[in-house]
Amino acid sequence: MVKFCLQCKSAFWGGQYCPICPGEIELLDAALPENKKYLAELNIDVRPKYYARSSMLLSCFGFVMALPLGAFVFLRGLASSGNVELWAGIGIGTIVFISWGCWYLSHRLFDKQMEGVEVEDKEPQLD
Ligand SMILES: [Zn+2]
């Protein structure tokens, strides 16, 4: 859970109060929608981390679902005509197309979300 302090603009891994600022300055949760407007003001940019998550889910979904879908297409085609080479080609084509398509779409999604993020003057948190 990434939290940040509005006073010193630093980001931390959890905690209730800022360990840097004197007094009890409450840390804000970076994942909450009402705090998203402050993310651009922070010293360290945590946005790539959050944007990468949706892209990773999409590419993972593509790689996981491509094989069963390809096998399904191969078996259904085989049951209807018996042409092994044709349906093996179509099945492998389905696997390649879906996994490559999801990888490509996730890349596009990440680039689109990162459009408004200037990384020149900040250190992006990519780990
Ligand atoms: Zn602070």
pLDDT in tens, 5-43: 988 888 888 889 999 999 899 999 888 889 888 877 777
Task: Give the pLDDT confidence score for residue 72 in this predicted structure.
Answer: 95
- Name the band, by pLDDT with cuts 50, 70 and 90, for residue 104: very high
Ligand 1 centre to CA of 98 (Å) is: 46
CA-angle at 118, arms to 112 and 119, nearest 5°: 110
Between CA 69 and CA 59 the distance in angstroms is 15
CA of 114 to the centre of ligand 1 (A): 26
Name every residue whose Cβ is closer than 8 Å to that of residue 64 and which is 6 or more positions away in sequence.
none
Burial of 90 by CB count in 10 Å (0-12 exposed, 13-18 middle, 19+ buried)? middle
pLDDT at 60: 93
pLDDT tens for 39-83 read 777 777 777 777 888 899 999 999 999 999 999 999 999 999 888
